[in-house]
Chains A and B, each alone.
Chain A
Amino acid sequence: MKTAFTNARLIDPATDYDGPGTIIVDGNIIEASGPDVATDQAKTVVDCGGRVLCPGFIDMRAHAVDPQSALAGGITTIILQPDQTSIIDTDAVVERIRHRSVDSQVVSVYPMGAATQGMRGEQIAEIGQMQQSGAVAFTDCNRAVANAQVMRRLLEYANHFDALVVQFAENPELAAGGVAHEGETATRLGLSGIPVAAEVIQIEQDIRLAELTGARLHFALISSREGVDVIRRAKAKGIKVSCSTAPHYLHLNDNALEGYRTFAKVRPPFRSDDDRVALIEGLADGTIDTLVSDHSPKSQDVKRLPFAQAADGIVGFETLLALSLAPVHSGKLSLMTLLKTLTSNPATLLGLPTGNLAPGSFADFVVFDPNKPSRISEKNMISAAKNTPFDTLPVQGEVWKTIADGVTVFERD
Chain B
Amino acid sequence: MSTHSTDQSSYPRADVAPPSGTLFPHKHLLGIWGLDPTAIKHLLDVADGYVDLNRQAIKSTETCRGLTQINLFFENSTRTLMSFEIAGKRLGMDTISMSTGTSSIKKGETMLDTAATLNAMHPDVLVMRHGDSGAVKLLSEKMDCAVINAGDGRSEHPTQALLDALTIRRRKGSIHGQTIVISGDVAHSRVARSNIYLLNAMGARVRVVAPPTLLPADVDRLGVEVFHHMEKGLEGADVVMMLRLQSERMQGAFLPSLREYFHFWGLTREKLRAAKEDVLVMHPGPMNRGVEIASDVADDLDRSAIEEQVEMGVAVRMACIDVLTRNLRKEAAS
Contacts and interface: CB of A to CB of B under 8 A. Distances in A.
Interface of A: 182-184, 186-193, 195, 259-260, 301, 304-310
B153 A186 contact: no
Contacts of B112: 304
14 contacts: A184-B217, A184-B221, A184-B222, A186-B217, A190-B133, A190-B155, A190-B190, A195-B217, A305-B107, A306-B108, A306-B132, A307-B132, A309-B132, A310-B108
A306 B130 contact: yes
Contact of B217 (A182, A259, A306): A182
B138 interface: yes
B212 interface: no
B301 interface: no
Contacts of A259: 137
Nearest to A181: B217
Given A187-B216, A190-B153, A308-B153, A301 B109 contact: yes
A189 B156 CA distance: 8
Contacts of A195: 217
A304 B219 CA distance: 28
B7 interface: no
Nearest to B132: A306
Interface string B108-119: 110110000000
A305 B108 contact: yes
Nearest to B186: A187
Given A189-B133, A190-B133, A195-B217, A309 B108 contact: yes
A306 B222 contact: no
Nearest to B217: A182
A65 to B, nearest CB: 27
Interface of B: 33, 107-109, 111-112, 130, 132-135, 137-138, 152-156, 190, 193, 216-219, 221-222
Contacts of B156: 190
B155 to A, nearest CB: 3
Nearest to B190: A190
B108 A188 contact: no
A182 B112 CA distance: 28
B111 to A, nearest CB: 8
B137 A187 contact: no
B280 to A, nearest CB: 26
Nearest to A193: B217
A183 B133 contact: no
Given A305-B109, A308-B153, A188 B134 contact: no
B28 to A, nearest CB: 13
A264 to B, nearest CB: 12
A187 B218 contact: yes
A189 B190 CA distance: 10
Contacts of A301: 109
A338 B193 CA distance: 43
B109 A306 contact: no
A260 B133 CA distance: 8
Given A189-B134, A190-B193, 14 more contacts: A184-B218, A184-B221, A188-B193, A191-B134, A259-B137, A304-B112, A304-B138, A305-B108, A306-B133, A306-B134, A306-B135, A306-B153, A309-B107, A309-B132
A183 B138 contact: no
Nearest to B156: A190
Contacts of B130: 306
Nearest to B197: A188
Residue from the set A259, A301, A306 with the largest chain B CB neighbour count within 10 Å: A306
A292 B108 CA distance: 31
Given A187-B222, A190-B154, A260 B217 contact: no
B138 A260 contact: yes
Nearest to B220: A184
A189 B154 CA distance: 8
Contacts of B221: 184, 187
A308 B134 CA distance: 9
Contact of A187 (B109, B152, B217): B217
A259 B33 CA distance: 11
Contacts of A192: 154
5 interchain residue pairs of minimum CB distance = A260-B134, A190-B154, A190-B155, A306-B132, A190-B133
B191 to A, nearest CB: 11
A308 B218 contact: no
A43 to B, nearest CB: 56
B137 A260 contact: yes
A183 B220 CA distance: 11
Contacts of B219: 187
Nearest to A257: B134
A187 B153 CA distance: 12
Contacts of A309: 107-108, 132
Nearest to A304: B112
A273 B130 CA distance: 31
Contacts of A188: 33, 193, 222
Contacts of B33: 188
A191 B109 contact: no
A183 B217 contact: yes
B23 to A, nearest CB: 24
A392 B88 CA distance: 43
A192 B216 CA distance: 9
A186 B154 CA distance: 10
Nearest to B112: A304
A197 to B, nearest CB: 11
A182 B218 CA distance: 8
A389 to B, nearest CB: 16
Interface centre among A183, A189, A193 (most CB of B within 10 A): A189
Nearest to A187: B216
